[in-house]
A = this chain, B = another copy of it.
Amino acid sequence: MKNEIKVAVDAMGGDYAPTEIIKGVVEFTKKNDVKVVLIGKSDLIYSQLDNYKYSQNKIEIMDATEVISNDDLPTEAIKHKKQSSMVVGLNMLKGKKVDAFISAGNTGALVAGATLIVGRIKGVMRPALAPVLPTLKGFALLIDCGANVDAKPIYLKQFAEMGSIYVKNIIGISEPKIGLVNIGTEEKKGNELVREAYKLIKDSDINFIGNLEARNIFRGEVDVIVCDAFVGNIILKHTEGLVKDMFDLIRKELTSSLLSKIGALFAIGAFKNIKKRFDYKEYGGAPLLGLENLVMKVHGNSKSGDINAALNQCVKFIENDITNEIAEKMREMKEI
């Protein structure tokens, strides 16, 4: 276990930056013996920190004059906004000045920047962004939702390995079940990519349960859902959109008549339970797996509690030395 952990946080990324980001960091440092570096416009950060009592030797401030917005083109932003909180943070991580970097900012820019600046673990062909999807039984890791839209079978196999290591260590499931997203359960189903990936994953020592049909994604039959980033993004965004729109529809219908309004009043507790279940942020941030050091994406609309949760998740990641375990796995693979 590392003696002193230090995590950098992008104070400027996300819908509620910097207020909620800073609030989350203050909350976290009160309960944890971990240092946090807040990166962003320092005058803004200092003025916000004035609202709290906080331990000055746990929170550092690193000035960054620029901000990457959601409208910025990812690669362009990384190349040209060298003084942005995101690029400054990724460079600190690369230089080993911190152990992890958290951002709620532009996802595309974060993935591109992390790959370009931080660098991959030897043997990892593509880093993968792995958010958590809510399921009927709890949740599952969805890997990849990053930038590898033209994937190769070997990438999917590595995603399965990295996802397995992550879930085992962070969630504590000793033998995570891995499923490959496909349009049928039989081995020969699907396109060339998944047919080849199926063979590779089957021949590995992963606890592979085979193809996972989309109708069962929400059922919670597997702990790790493997797919290329195009499919992963479709699943993630479609789920988010459909769930949000369905709740809007339910709200609209329930307020459409006096009878249903009365019903809604009685059933409000039940609805809150269901809604909580679909709250992505309940499950923390999405790690970018396969990098030399940890980069974690948190949802754009994260509030202080989510930042706090992501910081705890980073600590667990570092204490369990997951980067090293992935590196070990890659070495093993090379030897075979």
User: For the complex, would chain A's binding face be called helix, strand, loop or mixed by DSSP majority?
Assistant: helix
By beta carbon, the residue of chain B nearest A230 is B191
Closest beta carbon of chain B to A61's beta carbon, Å: 33
A201-246 interface (Cβ within 8 A of B)? 213-219, 229-231, 233-243, 245-246
Question: Are A260 and B267 interface neighbours, CB within 8 A?
Answer: yes
Residue among A136, A183, A264, A268 facing the most chain B CB atoms (10 A cut-off): A183
In the complex, chain B residues whose CB is within 8 Å of the CB of A273: 253
Partner of A277, one of B229, B243, B249: B249
Question: Are A238 and B241 interface neighbours, CB within 8 A?
Answer: no
Question: Quick one: given A214-B241, A245-B218, are A230 and B183 in contact (CB under 8 Å)?
Answer: yes
Question: Are A238 and B262 interface neighbours, CB within 8 A?
Answer: no
Instruction: Tell me, in angstroms, the Cα distance from A231 to B182 when the chains sit together.
Output: 10
Question: Are B215 and A241 interface neighbours, CB within 8 A?
Answer: yes
Instruction: Tell me, in angstroms, the Cα distance from A249 to B275 when the chains sit together.
Output: 11
Question: Are A245 and B219 interface neighbours, CB within 8 A?
Answer: yes
A43 at the interface (CB under 8 A from B): no
A270 at the interface (CB under 8 A from B): yes
Question: Are B253 and A262 interface neighbours, CB within 8 A?
Answer: no
In the complex, chain B residues whose CB is within 8 Å of the CB of A263: 262-268, 270
Question: How many copies altogether?
Answer: 2
Partner of A183, one of B213, B216, B234, B243: B234
Instruction: Tell me, in angstroms, the Cα distance from A237 to B212 when the chains sit together.
Output: 11
Closest beta carbon of chain B to A287's beta carbon, Å: 20
Residue among A190, A216, A237, A238 facing the most chain B CB atoms (10 A cut-off): A238
In the complex, chain B residues whose CB is within 8 Å of the CB of A1: none
Closest beta carbon of chain B to A140's beta carbon, Å: 13
Question: Quick one: given A215-B240, A237-B213, are A262 and B266 in contact (CB under 8 Å)?
Answer: yes
By beta carbon, the residue of chain B nearest A186 is B73
Instruction: Tell me, in angstroms, the Cα distance from A233 to B189 when the chains sit together.
Output: 12
Instruction: Tell me, in angstroms, the Cα distance from A123 to B149 when the chains sit together.
Output: 30
In the complex, chain B residues whose CB is within 8 Å of the CB of A213: 237
Question: Are A238 and B215 interface neighbours, CB within 8 A?
Answer: yes
In the complex, chain B residues whose CB is within 8 Å of the CB of A237: 183, 213-215
Closest beta carbon of chain B to A293's beta carbon, Å: 26
A: residues with CB less than 8 A from B are 108, 136, 149-150, 181, 183-184, 190-192, 194, 213-219, 229-231, 233-243, 245-246, 249-250, 253-254, 256-257, 259-260, 262-271, 273-274, 277
14 A–B contacts, CB within 8 A, in A order: A108-B184, A136-B249, A149-B183, A183-B233, A218-B238, A231-B231, A246-B246, A246-B274, A250-B274, A256-B270, A257-B269, A260-B266, A260-B267, A262-B263
Given contacts A215-B240, A259-B269, 9 further A-B contacts (CB under 8 A): A136-B245, A149-B183, A149-B190, A214-B237, A218-B242, A235-B238, A263-B264, A263-B267, A264-B266
